[in-house]
Amino acid sequence: MVWQGVLCYAAAMEQRFDTKTEAIRHAPWRRLMDRSLGRARSVPTMLSLEEQKLYHWLTAFWADGAGAIVDLGCFAGGSTARLAEGHRIAGLVSAIHAYDRFTADEDVKQSILYKQGLSPFEGNDILPLARDLLAPWGDAIHFHRGEIDQMSWEGGPIEILVMDASKAAETMDRMAEAFFPYLVPGRSLIVQQDFLHWSQPWVPVQMERMPVHFTPLAYAPRDTVVFLCTEAPDREALATARTAHLSDSELVAHLEVAARSFSDWGLEQRLRDMIDGLRANPGKRRAYQFRKP
């Protein structure tokens, strides 16, 4: 009954708007009931409820098999589970690829995993935990363990690319070079999970440096902005978009442009908070190095 109502809503959205691209701008996932997330609700996550619904909606209603679903920053499986449940409901046969180091120290285990109901366990290895939590979605999920910025992609087109591992400017640059060329113009989405996180100013800067290649479509609080790939970036474009070498003043200049661009979205102040954070942490290019102004 839950999904009968959701599917009726999806059909109404298609009739109201000419294209899925137009529909997504109106945040249709907000109308999903919490229980539509199904079994994914039991998998620990750091996503807000609206972000969870967004992930679910993207695979349930946006994706149509044009490429793989790639989650860069799976952690214990929270984001992957929301993607996988939508994938299951839609009957997609494309693969879901979950990338992470799959480790968690005691502080992270205490503050995130145990607080969300998991029983204490020994060691820092959480790959067995992620496999267990994601077992309901079976062979659809492929696990990739390691430093993501040192890994490559050879799986063909990517339809939805979730970026939740951009914790350092250099790491983000390398991931973009490895994964962005496989996006399909007009079909593929990038989900920038930390686009508005005050300690990762390089994320909006990278996207602002590729305006021909990516168009912002939607925002989901707390920090997520979704982009449509309008033109797959080539090697030259990706080199131009690198951020790790930029000075603080260059980063601020790009953030000022981004702040103005997103003023109509009500997000200008969030981007200016990033500028304040950058100025309070000169020269820092790793999120863990940032201290609140």
Rounded to a whole number of angstroms, the CA Rg of the chain reads 18
Structure-token match 């790639």, residue found: 70
The SS3 assignment for 104 reads coil
Give the per-residue pLDDT at 182: 98
Q: For residues 202 and 12, what is the distance between their CA atoms, to the nearest angstrom?
A: 38
pTM, full prediction: 0.94
45: number of Cβ within 10 Å: 21
Residue 144 CB partners (closer than 8 Å, separation 6+): 97, 98, 99, 100, 151
| Number of domains the chain contains | 1
Task: Give me the helices (H) in the chain, please.
Answer: 2-16, 20-24, 49-57, 78-90, 106-108, 127-133, 169-179, 202-208, 235-240, 248-261, 268-280
Triad 92, 93, 97: Cα angle to 5°: 100
Decide: residue 227, CB within 10 A, 0-12 exposed, 13-18 middle, 19+ buried.
buried
> In the 3-class helix/strand/coil scheme, how is 132-152 assigned residue by residue?
HHCHHHHHHEEEEECCHHHCC
Structural domain for 57, as ranges: 2-289
pLDDT in tens, 28-50: 999 999 999 999 999 999 999 99
Task: Output phi, psi for 130, to 5 deg.
Answer: -60, -40
Name the amino acid, one letter, at 229. Answer: C
pLDDT at 19: 83
Query: What CATH number corresponds to the domain at position 40?
Result: 3.40.50.150
Please give the span between the terminal C-alpha atoms of the chain, in angstroms, as a whole number.
Answer: 49
Which pLDDT belongs to residue 14? Answer: 47
Confirm if 173 and 243 have CB atoms less than 8 A apart: yes
List residues bridging with 228 in a β-sheet: 189, 215
Q: What is the DSSP letter of 285?
A: -
For residue 183, the 8-state DSSP code is B
Q: Which helix (H) or strand (E) holds 70?
A: strand 68-72
What does the longest C-alpha to C-alpha distance in the chain come to?
Answer: 54
Instruction: List the chain pLDDT tens, one digit each, 293 residues.
Output: 444 445 444 544 444 455 888 899 999 999 999 999 999 999 999 999 999 999 999 999 999 999 999 999 999 999 999 999 999 999 999 999 999 999 999 999 999 999 999 999 999 999 999 999 999 999 999 999 999 999 999 999 999 999 999 999 999 999 999 999 999 999 999 999 999 999 999 999 999 999 999 999 999 999 999 999 999 999 999 999 999 999 999 999 999 999 999 999 999 999 999 999 999 999 999 999 999 98
Tokens of residue 239, six digits:
């080199």
Q: 64-88 pLDDT, tens per residue?
A: 999 999 999 999 999 999 999 999 9
